[in-house]
């Protein structure tokens, strides 16, 4: 590798000294619901409907006992709302039945919840519990591949590769900042190479510039 983990992180910190998550939430329960809603939907759209959702359903118990139709009605402006309503209800029912309404804070338990895959579980661990975990979403996947941090397409293998390359103490930062870097700078279609602080270590810089100029 022509650069170290710290070379990468130090440059990333110039873009995102204090990375954030675009989904609004106040507790782990709210983040689980928001993350389920965010599948194939923009975070902005999710943020528009969650205040009303959490006013109506302040706790997992409220969701668990609500008729499915009422949940559907509350989220019907997001796509796949029927499927998402079902998953949210099943997830909250499991939270109530298995954990007394409290969101667990381990990957093993989180991934047993309906609607919670490995990516969502890692999002919860990092953002709601500030625990070390590596989030691999579409942005992290693309950035990792562009920097040759992985040669896999499989999110589980990418997660393992990143966990090996970066130190555990940096996983939380990397998980938050790489998502933002991929979303706002190293974008899928038109990466903003002209404003990129990682350009000196980017294996694609010449290619991207040619693409831009051409």
CA-to-CA distance for 168 and 171, rounded, in angstroms? 5
Contacts of 165 (CB under 8 A, 6+ apart): 1, 5, 149
Catalytic-residue membership of 119: yes
Point out the catalytic residue in the list 56, 65, 76, 119: 119
**Residue 14 vs 82, nearer CB to ligand SF4:** 14
For position 38 contacting ligand SF4 by CB under 6 A, the verdict is no
Applying CB under 6 A, the span of 64-72, 91-99, 128-136, 203-211 interacting with ligand SF4 comes to: 203-211
Residue 135 to residues 62, 118, 176: CA-CA distances in angstroms? 29, 8, 8
For position 149 contacting ligand SF4 by CB under 6 A, the verdict is no
For position 140 contacting ligand SF4 by CB under 6 A, the verdict is no
CB 98 within 8 A of CB 60: no
CA-to-CA distance for 115 and 86, rounded, in angstroms? 9
With CB under 6 A as the contact rule, the residue among 11, 89, 119, 146 that binds ligand SF4 is 146
**Residue 21 vs 198, nearer CB to ligand SF4:** 198
**Residue 68 vs 188, nearer CB to ligand SF4:** 188
CA-to-CA distance for 146 and 56, rounded, in angstroms? 43
Point out the catalytic residue in the list 44, 76, 89, 137: 137
Applying CB under 6 A, the span of 27-35, 124-132, 150-158, 199-207 interacting with ligand SF4 comes to: 199-207
| End-to-end Cα, the chain, rounded Å | 29
Catalytic-residue membership of 105: no
For position 200 contacting ligand SF4 by CB under 6 A, the verdict is no
DSSP state of 104: P
With CB under 6 A as the contact rule, the residue among 33, 205, 211, 214 that binds ligand SF4 is 205
CA-to-CA distance for 132 and 122, rounded, in angstroms? 9
Run of H or E including 165 = helix 155-165
Task: List the catalytic residues.
Answer: 119, 137
Q: Which residues bind ligand SF4 (CB under 6 A)?
A: 146, 185-186, 191-193, 196, 198-199, 202, 204-205, 208
């Amino acid at each position: 590798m022509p650069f170290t983990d710290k070379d990468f992180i130090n440059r990333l910190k110039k873009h995102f000294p204090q990375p954030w998550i675009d989904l609004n939430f106040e507790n782990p329960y709210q983040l689980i619901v928001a993350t389920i809603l965010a599948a194939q939907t923009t975070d902005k759209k999710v943020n528009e409907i969650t205040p009303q959702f959490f006013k109506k359903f302040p706790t997992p118990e409220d969701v668990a006992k609500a008729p499915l139709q009422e949940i559907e009605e509350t989220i019907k402006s997001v796509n796949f709302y029927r499927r998402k309503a079902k998953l949210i209800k099943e997830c909250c029912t499991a939270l109530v039945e298995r954990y007394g309404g409290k969101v667990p804070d381990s990957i093993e338990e989180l991934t047993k919840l309906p609607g919670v895959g490995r990516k969502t579980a890692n999002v919860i661990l990092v953002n709601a519990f500030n625990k070390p975990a590596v989030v691999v979403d579409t942005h992290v996947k693309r950035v990792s591949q562009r920097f040759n941090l992985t040669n896999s397409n499989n999110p589980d293998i990418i997660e393992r590769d990143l966990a090996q390359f970066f130190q555990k103490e940096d996983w939380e930062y990397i998980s938050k900042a790489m998502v933002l870097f991929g979303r706002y700078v190293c974008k899928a279609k038109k990466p903003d190479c002209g404003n990129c602080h990682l350009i000196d270590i980017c294996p694609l810089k010449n290619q991207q510039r040619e693409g831009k100029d051409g």
